């Protein structure tokens, strides 16, 4: 059966193909006889046969989590005069309502703050914890039924502050050593990302703790609270947030938080939007051993997805040999997971006004929503600019002629 390729609204949940009154298929065009269930969409088979072409249900699931990440940007206060500057503008109870996700069926349970232990020469003050995202749980019973499980969601925003930009540029690899039972010195990650994840606020008097401590505490609490239910853990982030999401997923798996007493499998999935490389080959191998499911959504022209390790990475070859065969491979960066490469449309010169558009979260959402869109709107805008430029140039030339040619002026 040929699947429909028309993407519906992001909030017709993955089970929009199911009737709300029963668990029966409501739209036969959305599911083939080998219907992908929610575990397939969470990467149980590493998204085999779902990426090329992109399955409509998976597209909707990715878009759904993309909107949760976008909520971080909408709620982040960038007003330097505000009392909530560089924090969330809203309280947990009404944040989703303020950013247009009141019908998502999720409830925010905790805000997450991160403090990079990094010196910034242009800011002579101790860095403070900044809001980087939130933890939420699918709380609406109808949504839980449609999803097929209780979904524990952690969403992260990308880079905003100067300290975070410095963290992005710290390409030195350092041992992660997150599991005290086995330090695994061969598992290395980018030092700036690790600092964002593990550092505490130096002047903290209220026990806020590191980003890591906040997250592990809340995830453990929610997993224990819903231990009798079918549950999934989904992490989604953009740019720097993707790195934090992957570090958290690795940490959760390494510490065994997803191991239940009855040996039920709790899917642990990362949806990475425009994410950089996070660690070396040892980190990649360990993530695979732990069974992490990572889907990297990458815009082909986004330079962030090629960093760090722009030269020394998983694609490096020396005398025809791949980097994995090199004795220096422990110092090479490597992407983790499966890549969903978004076909980048050729853009008009209008986009040159804002080169950062290739990495923007809204660009990722647009490419996912409209993969086959034409440039009709951009062409119209470009044509309008050309007409205005022509009129302006014509008026300018006319003015010059009037100024320097008195005989033309008299005529």
Tokens of residue 307, six digits: 């960093």
Neighbour count for residue 180 (Cβ, 10 Å): 7
Question: What are the E-state strand segments in 88-204?
Answer: 106-114, 130-138, 150-156, 173-175, 188-190
Do residues 158 and 132 touch, judged by C-beta distance below 8 A?
Answer: no
Among the listed residues 138, 302, 335, 360, the single catalytic one is 302
- Told to judge if 359 belongs to the known catalytic residues of this protein, a careful annotator would answer yes
Closest-CA residue to 296 (of 216, 235, 370, 219): 235
Q: Helix, strand or coil for residue 87?
A: coil
Whole-angstrom distance, CA of residue 212 vs CA of residue 241: 13
CA-CA distances (angstroms) from residue 116 to 83, 168, 248? 21, 11, 16
Phi–psi pair at 186, nearest 5 degrees: -80, -15
Tell me the DSSP string of 236-266.
Answer: EEETHHHHHHHHHHHHHHHHTTTB-TT--B-
Among the listed residues 239, 242, 335, 360, the single catalytic one is 239
375: DSSP letter: S
Do residues 368 and 63 touch, judged by C-beta distance below 8 A?
Answer: yes
Phi–psi pair at 279, nearest 5 degrees: -145, -170
Do residues 13 and 30 touch, judged by C-beta distance below 8 A?
Answer: no
- Told to judge if 302 belongs to the known catalytic residues of this protein, a careful annotator would answer yes
CA-CA distances (angstroms) from residue 246 to 81, 237, 243, 327? 33, 9, 5, 26
Do residues 236 and 68 touch, judged by C-beta distance below 8 A?
Answer: yes
Closest-CA residue to 258 (of 169, 152, 346, 344): 152
Whole-angstrom distance, CA of residue 257 vs CA of residue 252: 5
Just list the catalytic residues.
239, 302, 359
């Amino acid at each position: 059966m040929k699947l429909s390729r028309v993407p519906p609204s992001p909030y017709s949940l993955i089970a929009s193909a199911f009737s709300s009154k029963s668990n029966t298929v409501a739209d036969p065009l959305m599911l083939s006889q080998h219907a992908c269930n929610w575990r397939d969409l969470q990467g149980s088979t590493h998204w085999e046969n779902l990426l090329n072409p992109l399955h409509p249900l998976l597209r909707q699931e990715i878009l759904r989590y993309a909107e949760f990440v976008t909520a971080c940007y909408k709620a982040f206060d960038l007003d330097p005069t505000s009392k909530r500057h560089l924090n969330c503008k809203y309280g947990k109870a009404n944040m989703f309502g303020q950013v247009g996700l009141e019908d998502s069926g999720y409830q925010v349970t905790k805000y997450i703050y991160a403090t990079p232990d990094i010196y910034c020469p242009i800011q002579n003050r101790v860095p403070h914890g900044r809001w980087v995202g939130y933890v939420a749980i699918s709380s609406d019973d109808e949504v839980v039924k449609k999803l097929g499980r209780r979904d524990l969601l952690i969403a992260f925003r990308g880079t905003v502050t100067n300290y975070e930009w410095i963290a992005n540029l710290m390409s030195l690899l350092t041992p992660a050593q997150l599991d005290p039972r086995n330090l695994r010195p061969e598992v290395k990650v980018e030092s700036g990302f690790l600092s964002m994840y593990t550092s505490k606020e130096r002047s903290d008097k209220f026990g806020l703790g590191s980003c890591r401590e906040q997250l592990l505490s809340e995830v453990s609490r929610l997993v224990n609270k819903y231990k009798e239910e079918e549950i999934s853990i989904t992490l989604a982030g953009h740019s720097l947030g993707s790195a934090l999401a992957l570090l958290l997923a690795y940490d959760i798996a390494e510490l065994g938080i997803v191991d239940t007493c009855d040996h039920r499998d709790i899917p642990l999935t990362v949806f990475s939007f425009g994410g950089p490389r996070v660690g070396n080959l040892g980190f990649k191998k360990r993530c695979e051993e732990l069974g992490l499911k990572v889907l990297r959504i990458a815009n082909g022209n986004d330079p962030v997805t090629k960093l760090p390790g722009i030269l020394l990475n998983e694609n490096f070859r020396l005398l025809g040999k791949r980097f994995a065969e090199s004795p220096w491979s422990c110092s090479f960066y490597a992407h983790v997971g499966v890549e969903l490469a978004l076909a980048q449309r050729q853009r008009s010169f209008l986009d040159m006004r804002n080169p950062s558009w290739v990495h923007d979260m809204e660009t990722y959402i647009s490419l996912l929503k409209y993969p086959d869109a034409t440039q009709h709107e951009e062409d119209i805008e470009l044509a309008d600019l050309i007409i205005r430029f022509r009129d302006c140039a014509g008026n300018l030339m006319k003015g010059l002629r009037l100024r320097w040619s008195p005989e033309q002026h008299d005529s």
